[in-house]
Structure 1
Amino acid sequence: MAGAARARFHRLRVTAVDRLTDDSVALTFTVPTELREQFRHAPGQHLALRRTGDGAEIRRTYSICSTVPADEAPRSLRVGVRLVDGGAFSTYAHKEIAVGDELEVMTPAGRFTLDPAPGHYAAVVGGSGITPVLSIAGTLLERVPQARFCLIRSDRTTSSTMFLEEVADLKDRYPDRFQLVTVLSREEQQAGLASGRLDQDRIAALLPALLPVDTVAGWFLCGPYGLVQGAERALRGLGVRRERIHEEIFHVDDGPAPIRAAATPAHSTVTAQLDGRSGTWPVEDGESLLEAVLRNRPDAPYACKGGVCGTCRAFLVSGSIRMDRNFALEPEETEAGYVLACQSHPATEKVELDFDR
């Protein structure tokens, strides 16, 4: 099962650096034979890339965009990287990474995935949110002849649209099973929808005109917080059940401010189970549980530290916590007792986490 084992870093060689747009590139890594099983993944999962710059460790997560092989572990992996203003890793990827370089790459993680099966599926994506959906749609259409996929994508302009050729190729290969709708927010199109922002009201009016909403087996929403939340509210208003909606947030600049935790209870400790070993350590005031664990177990899993990727997911065995924000866990996961360690602060003196569940 892809992603079942805890994620670990390995050095992979870069075999291609493809310029997608002025502000985005695709990086392709070769996976050596001895690591291929560890990099087996489900469509929609992501990789964390790690480097050390100015004495500090930098980790960033990027979704795998390549189609997942059906019967063998991957020989290569491809991710898309969009340049972020002031972004330490994205700037490095755009200006310095070259073919032949070796990067530290974490084994695949993430639960924004699809197990290919017959049915009608759809996605609403914005900007770089196309990256995991490209893998999901391509894998589904290749493996399941009875499946159909509708992609609604929103971008600023044609020139800023990532994976334009790859999506066009899907349309050419599967003309009867792949439906593409493009919305540009800052550029008029000669044909198709009028330009403008794809908000909740527009999505709610658009979707029923495109496909029978109630027959879609799975909805995949990916991109900036505002787009994803607007699409979810539109779908819920159209009667779509929550379990059919899958979300991944790429940018949270327009999201709600984090809930600031109250002061850490005096003498707080966290006990963490990790790779079969357990330890108990103090939690300093204002420190997250992940930070407390990392001071003593540098191998604790994490990638973004922003509550977005879900890599630091852990099971709350005992005690109470407060989470600043959560953009990664589904409601059923939090109800089952899972938390994001990077966003969690102790609300009781003793907290116990299990990273192995």
Structure 2
Amino acid sequence: MFHPLRVGAVERITDDAVAVTFDVPAALRETFRHVPGQHLNVRYETAGGEEIRRSYSLCSPAAVAPDPPVLRVGIRLVDGGTFSTYALKELAVGDRVEAMAPSGRFTLEPRPGLFAAVVGGSGITPVLSIAATLLAREPLARFCLVRGDRTVASTMFLDEVADLKDRYPERFHLVTALSREEQAAGLPAGRLDQERLTSLLPALLPVTDVAGWFLCGPYGLVRGARRALRAMDVDRGRIHQEIFHVADATPPATETTSPDATLPGGAPGVEVPPEATLTATLHGRSGSWPVENGDSLLETVLRRRADAPYACKGGVCGTCRAFLVRGEVRMDRNYALEPEETEAGFVLACQSHPLTPEVAIDFDR
């Protein structure tokens, strides 16, 4: 369900990025109370009547009742991006934007231990919320942040991260790598690729003692970081990832960051049956409909249920996650679900196509 929220602040944080804060009415405080690392799905209607949905991570620390929740998101301009262009050029204090309750599983409930993150560009957004909340609530927690950016001027939330370093000098460790600019001190210029991380991370901290690794940013960075950690024997259950940008090309089925695209037992490339029926359960109501013209499961549901959950439709945000109750499907792309989730039977409805005449999914699981 979408709720109208008033824009309380729009702050320019780099030449191509803004931080937007939404005011939360008293009646919706519990609805919009978030876990650190979650995101908001927002909806906007263009002047031409087109509905645009996007997902933006919350950068603000998670508030505990009775304190009101603070909803602040980071938005970076994307070439051709309808909503990001609107946010940077037109969005103003007092405007109304519709948003769903916070969601997402790239999260960390504060607890003692050593935690670390490798982020690139706007991937700092959810990790800022995670680190700030953890350090504020748990005095026995430590956090190591390794971040990559193009230049200092393009670095999002530079002041907020510096503030964490000043407030928690013994518990917060920051390492920055710039790909297009040399630093006066610190790492030499260059990307945080798999080879570099393989040599860098063990020099910074005891890699296998880290209770949770959080990888966020472009697909290439996340893939390289995950491969580096797995090569250092980090258990995959301790590695959490969120992709912020994916190229058009689909990774090979053997890619470790993208589980087998067919569930529960088919193989990629199997022909979709000419006629298939989808049964979907959403908000406690079920319906059955034919899957037409090679549509995805999400497109099939949206024809009859406008309240079906989605944001990116690209297999990245995970908003359309559903449990596969019956049948088999092929997922074209998956950058949102962890291996444990696909093994348990969850799929991305926006990327799934039926491989059997009957398929049933449940969005409420």
TM-score, length-scaled by structure 1: 0.96
1:321 aligned onto 2:315: no
Q: Secondary structure at the match of 1:160?
A: coil
Q: Secondary structure at the match of 1:159?
A: coil
Structure 2 unpaired stretches of 5+? 253-260, 262-267
- Kindly provide the amino acid, as one letter, of the partner of residue 285 in structure 1: N
Work out whether residues 70 and 143 of structure 1, in 8 Å CA contact, stay in contact via their aligned partners in 2: no
Change (3 A) 1:294 1:109: same
Q: Secondary structure at the match of 1:326?
A: coil
Superposition deviation, residue 263 in structure 1 = 5.0
The superposition leaves residues 159-190 of structure 1 with CA deviations (integer Å, 9 ceiling, x where unpaired) of: 00000000000000000100000000000000
Work out whether residues 117 and 127 of structure 2, in 8 Å CA contact, stay in contact via their aligned partners in 1: yes
Change (3 A) 1:349 1:254: closer
Structure 1 unpaired stretches of 5+? 1-7
Question: Which residue, 304, 312, 316 being the options, matches 2:320?
Answer: 312
- Kindly provide the amino acid, as one letter, of the partner of residue 190 in structure 2: G
* RMSD of Structure 2 on Structure 1 (CA): 1.3
Superposition deviation, residue 11 in structure 1 = 0.4
Work out whether residues 225 and 255 of structure 1, in 8 Å CA contact, stay in contact via their aligned partners in 2: no
1:114 aligned onto 2:83: no
1:105 aligned onto 2:113: no
Name the structure 2 match of 1:22. Answer: 15
Q: Secondary structure at the match of 1:191?
A: coil
Name the structure 2 match of 1:4. Answer: none
Describe how 1:119-268 pairs up with structure 2 within 5 A: 119-253=113-247, 256=250, 264-268=272-276
Alignment partners' CA distance in 2, 1:152 and 1:200:
13
Name the structure 2 match of 1:90. Answer: 84
TM-score, length-scaled by structure 2: 0.94
Work out whether residues 321 and 346 of structure 2, in 8 Å CA contact, stay in contact via their aligned partners in 1: yes
Q: Secondary structure at the match of 1:175?
A: coil
Work out whether residues 44 and 112 of structure 1, in 8 Å CA contact, stay in contact via their aligned partners in 2: yes
- Kindly provide the amino acid, as one letter, of the partner of residue 224 in structure 1: P
Alignment partners' CA distance in 2, 1:286 and 1:19:
43
Alignment partners' CA distance in 1, 2:90 and 2:71:
19
Name the structure 1 match of 2:278. Answer: 270
Question: Which residue, 74, 79, 89 being the options, matches 2:73?
Answer: 79
Moved over 2 A (4+): 70-76, 254-264
Work out whether residues 282 and 362 of structure 2, in 8 Å CA contact, stay in contact via their aligned partners in 1: yes
The superposition leaves residues 261-305 of structure 1 with CA deviations (integer Å, 9 ceiling, x where unpaired) of: 665312211000111111001111220000000000111111111
Change (3 A) 1:218 1:75: closer
Name the structure 2 match of 1:334. Answer: 342
Name the structure 1 match of 2:27. Answer: 34
Alignment partners' CA distance in 1, 2:349 and 2:14:
35
Superposition deviation, residue 254 in structure 1 = 7.0
Alignment partners' CA distance in 1, 2:315 and 2:78:
18
1:286 aligned onto 2:294: yes
Superposition deviation, residue 318 in structure 1 = 0.4
Work out whether residues 63 and 70 of structure 2, in 8 Å CA contact, stay in contact via their aligned partners in 1: no
Alignment partners' CA distance in 2, 1:182 and 1:70:
31
Q: Secondary structure at the match of 1:86?
A: coil
Alignment partners' CA distance in 2, 1:299 and 1:155:
37
Q: Secondary structure at the match of 2:153?
A: helix
- Kindly provide the amino acid, as one letter, of the partner of residue 25 in structure 1: V
Alignment partners' CA distance in 1, 2:284 and 2:8:
36
Superposition deviation, residue 149 in structure 1 = 0.3
- Report the identity percentage: 70
Change (3 A) 1:95 1:324: same
Aligned length: 350
Work out whether residues 261 and 323 of structure 1, in 8 Å CA contact, stay in contact via their aligned partners in 2: no
Alignment partners' CA distance in 1, 2:63 and 2:275:
50
